[in-house]
Amino acid sequence: MNSRSAADTRLLVEKSLRRRAWAERRFRAYGLGAVLVGILFVFFLFGSIISKGYSAFLQAGVTLDIYFDPEIIDPAGTRQPETLATANYTSLVRAALRQQFPEVEGRPRTRALYELVSNSASFELQHLVEADPALIGKRQRMSFLAAANVDQLLKGRIDRKRAEATRVLSDDQIGWIDALAAKDQLKLKFNKGFFVHGDSREPEQAGVWGAVVGTLYTLAVTLLLSFPIGVAAAIYLEEFAPRNRWTDLIEVNINNLAAVPSIVFGLLGLAMFLNFFGMPRSAPLVGGFVLTLLTLPTIIIASRAALKAVPPSIREAALGMGASKLQMVGHHVLPLAMPGILTGTIIGMARALGETAPLLMIGMVAFIVDVPKSLVDPATVLPVQIFLWADSPERAFLERTSAAIIVLLGFLILMNATAVILRNRYERRW
Amino acid sequence: MAGGVPVPRGAAKTGGPAGYTRYSGGSNTPHLSKNIRMSMSTSALLLLIAAMAALGYWLGKYRSLALVGGGRGIRQLHSLPSYYGLLTALWCALPCLAVLAIWLACQDGLISSLVTRDLGPAPSGAANLGLFMNDVRNFASGSVPAAGVGQQVQVAAAHYQRLRGISSLALTGIILVMGLLATFWARSRITPDLRARNTVEAIGEKVLLACSTLAVFVTLGIVLSVVYESILFFRSVPVHEFLLGLQWSPQTAMRADQVGSSGSFGAVPLFLGTMMISGIAMLIAVPVGLFSAVYLAEYANRRFRSFAKPLLEILAGIPTVVYGFFAALTVGPALRTFGESIGLHVASESALAAGLVMGIMIIPFVSSLADDMITAVPQSLRDGAYALGATRSETIKQVVLRAALPGIVGGVLLAVSRAIGETMIVVMAAGLAARMTANPLEAVTTVTVQIVTLLTGDQEFDSPKTLAAFALGLVLFLVTLGLNIFALYIVRKYREQYE
């Protein structure tokens, strides 16, 4: 009786052990699965954006023989700047296209032909002639931007097999494109314009430079304000503040501000800076102010941690040698904490770089062609530019948006890598 | 082709000339170009002050050295010479900065009132007067051609410009004279016994204190500005109608006689939409985040951990606008195609797409907080469970997670507050139409989406439409603040338990 029950128990235990071992393995697999899902998302996100955006770094260009016809540019032969500025350069490009395809006749078809070249061509010619009027009367082989749809076709993003009526390019146009490509007059080149131009309504002419400059101005204001103020606040709280209610209030405030939604800072910027103080709309200056308020908590918290990590013995030694408290901080504690503070600052700036919502509130969401030249010029920033392009219906903007995201992520990776290197190289463990 | 080809886009996306959102909360809207010139002269004045301070530093430093007969007598000085220099520079700069700040704050109101007083028969009514002054400023700054404004405006503008010129000249003069006087006065006060270091450090400490107080003022500023505009809103729309109303259609008409000119501001559909999207996000983020935290903290070896943790944290560093793009152009269409293939109708701006992507974004947030909490559980608790024969997973489930529960709950609450306040993903991937629905495949809208749409549109100032955005902002601020305070309290309490 007794021995049977022992065998039973043993069986029971073995069975349950197997079950528990399975449960153990299952639990572990869930954990690993969760980590892998997370990592998969990272790769999927990057893969999807890079595969959509890499092609924007190439751009289709058309090579045409342009005859700088004196009859069209300057029939009177005066070479007056006004005449040169207002001449009909578009017709030069059109003439070159007609010469390329003499068989094209009739208004609808010639118009379809003209659509192959971006309308930036005439501006290019204008600038060229204004710079060098001697060109008039000459013939020159020149390269222009192709229209966005031509570009998309060459990159294989427009389906040739679709019915003509639902396609953005007609059969005729595709025939001309193929003919040009066969003669090597139409090909993909490195897209320099993307990095040097401002925004544009035409996808093929749009670039990120305006947004990059706006971003640099905005971040410069943010850094100049948030770094000194944040470090000063951290020093006060860590080294000078007496423990009382006021200090507690400040601490609770800083911790809470770090978690307030960024759009609320935008509302503050709108009500306070724009309406109350009457600062200019869309200006990098105000954007910098708002982002300063946003990054201050991050910088203060990081700086406090860095200051806290400096051992008290250093402070005691400095005070023992007769330094005043401010001298102790300035000469000893702060330099030792600097790598940590800089790391925190860079991370805060990286966060500010990616911030969009508060800038929408203060009107940085505007279509701005010109590259901003000062802190109060209307400007936009890279994330807002991405937001604007993502909204555009044109297909060609899709790849530009992805390319702008690649540029933004490139900046972010650069900043975070700097922070990591700084931390690994200079941070001291006590 | 510097600056791109000048192709005007015509009416820009957000409406208004050059795309400026035409919002203004008060009748006295200051304008762009006025401020350009104002700030140019301001920066020039700041440079002037800096230059005078540098002069003061130099004068003070060498004065103190001269008093004791050069570097040899330095021991007779109470402080190091540079402190005398700093003291002089501060004496010069601080009063100048104060004057500059006060002047800039008052000058515009003063000049405007002077212009209107000298105008003679002024256009009546406060709002009209504000508009009139806008015209004057615009014309004065040259952004409006002469043909576009009346005779009265032109006269006033000339007057305005003259007054501004006088004002800026007077300010420069006052600052220059005051700075130099203060500098020389401070220099004359320098004696070897002057406790320069103590004074400078006392001022330094005050500056540090002021910097740390800024956080409080920011909070105060948020509360004041949002509450003020909200009160204006609640004057036209009662609070209970806003908080309990079921109809949200803020399209106020341009003319009073149009249909639906009043608009309705019941925010319940927005609250429901926000809750649904945040809920979907938390359904993704909490299990994935928690399980990966458990795995990384308890199972993974060092090499895997050092590789996987930073990779996961990349997700936290990606800007939200990128997630928004991903949700709107990759996940949304994919869900739609998938839904069609199994015969389900999925809206192209479904709550599911926005929630899914938001969940991905929050994963690292949950996982790193949970990781902290799990590693904070003392090893002795685990050892006790192992000694009783528990397996690893049993220890984790029944001991570690239970011990870490308060901390994890705090972390999840922080994540919820982040999900509620998240803006760009929902602006780009969620819908605009306020709908009361429990179906995650339909389009819903959220509080943050409405704030952005209301404030980036083209609307008259002081309309309930723009003010409603501030009321929504107030609700958002209060809810997230409450969640944060509660969560931080829990987390702190939990940390103290094991310290």
For residue A24, count other CB atoms closer than 10 A to its CB: 15
B4: confidence class by pLDDT, cuts 50, 70, 90: very low
In 3D space, the residue among A144, A89, A80 whose CA is nearest the CA of residue A116 turns out to be A144
Q: How does DSSP classify residue B329?
A: I
pLDDT of residue B26: 34
Res B121 pLDDT > 60 = no
In whole angstroms, what is the distance from residue A362 CA to residue A124 CA? Answer: 35
pLDDT of residue A172: 84
Cα–Cα distances in angstroms (integers) from residue B408 to residues B14, B61, B286, B368, B394, in the given order: 42, 58, 10, 10, 18
* Amino acid in the structure at residue A241: A
In whole angstroms, what is the distance from residue A358 CA to residue A351 CA? Answer: 13
For residue B128, count other CB atoms closer than 10 A to its CB: 12
Length of chain A: 430
A79: left (phi over 0), alpha (psi -120 to 50) or beta: left
pLDDT of residue B434: 80
- Please give the average per-residue pLDDT across B375-381, as a whole number: 91
- Min Cα distance B59 → chain A (Å) is 23
Q: How does DSSP classify residue B257?
A: T
Given a contact cutoff of 8 angstroms between Cβ atoms, the answer to whether A315 and A333 are in contact is: yes
pLDDT of residue B144: 62
A4: exposed, middle or buried (Cβ count in 10 Å: 0-12, 13-18, 19+): exposed
pLDDT of residue B361: 93
- Min Cα distance A140 → chain B (Å) is 19
User: Which ranges in B237-350 belong to alpha helices (H)?
Assistant: 239-244, 268-294, 302-317, 320-326, 332-341
Query: CA-based Rg of chain A, rounded to a whole angstrom?
Result: 32
Length of chain B: 499
pLDDT of residue B23: 35
Res B418 pLDDT > 80 = yes
Backbone angles phi, psi at B317, to 5 degrees: -90, -10
Closest residue, chain B, to A272 (C-alpha): B225
Whether A287 has its CB under 8 Å from any CB of chain B: the answer is no
pLDDT of residue A258: 87
Whether B303 has its CB under 8 Å from any CB of chain A: the answer is no
In whole angstroms, what is the distance from residue B141 CA to residue A173 CA? Answer: 49
Per-residue pLDDT of chain A (430 residues; tens, 9 = 90+): 555 688 888 898 888 999 999 999 999 999 999 999 999 999 999 999 999 888 889 888 888 888 888 888 888 777 788 888 888 888 888 888 888 888 888 888 888 888 888 888 888 888 888 888 888 888 888 888 888 888 888 888 888 888 887 888 888 888 888 888 888 888 888 888 889 888 888 888 888 999 999 999 999 999 999 999 999 999 999 999 888 888 888 888 888 888 899 999 999 998 888 888 778 888 899 999 999 999 999 999 999 999 999 999 999 999 999 999 999 999 999 999 999 999 999 999 999 999 999 999 888 887 888 888 888 888 899 999 999 999 887 878 888 999 999 999 999 999 999 988 888 888 777 7
Cβ contact, residue pair B295, A28, below 8 Å: yes
- Residues 131-190 on A with a CB inside 8 Å of B are none
pTM for the model: 0.85
In whole angstroms, what is the distance from residue B227 CA to residue B240 CA? Answer: 16
- Min Cα distance B15 → chain A (Å) is 9
Tens-digit pLDDT profile for residues B422-470:
999 999 998 887 888 888 888 889 999 999 988 886 555 567 778 888 9
Task: Return the structure tokens found at B43.
Answer: 């920066």
In whole angstroms, what is the distance from residue B339 CA to residue A171 CA? Answer: 34
Q: For the range B339-347, what are the long-range contacts, defined as Cβ-Cβ under 8 Å and sequence gap of 24 or more?
A: B339/B441, B344/B441, B345/B441, B346/B441, B347/B431, B347/B441, B347/B442, B347/B443
Whether B17 has its CB under 8 Å from any CB of chain A: the answer is no
**pLDDT, chain B, mean:** 81
Res B35 pLDDT > 80 = no
- Please give the average per-residue pLDDT across B45-60, as a whole number: 92
- Please give the average per-residue pLDDT across B42-49, as a whole number: 87
Tens-digit pLDDT profile for residues B257-310:
555 556 788 889 899 999 999 999 999 999 999 999 999 999 999 999 988 988
Cβ contact, residue pair A237, B20, below 8 Å: no
- Min Cα distance B110 → chain A (Å) is 14
- Please give the average per-residue pLDDT across B322-339, as a whole number: 91
> Between helices B151-189 and B32-67, what is the axis angle to 10°?
10
Res B3 pLDDT > 70 = no
Res B27 pLDDT > 70 = no
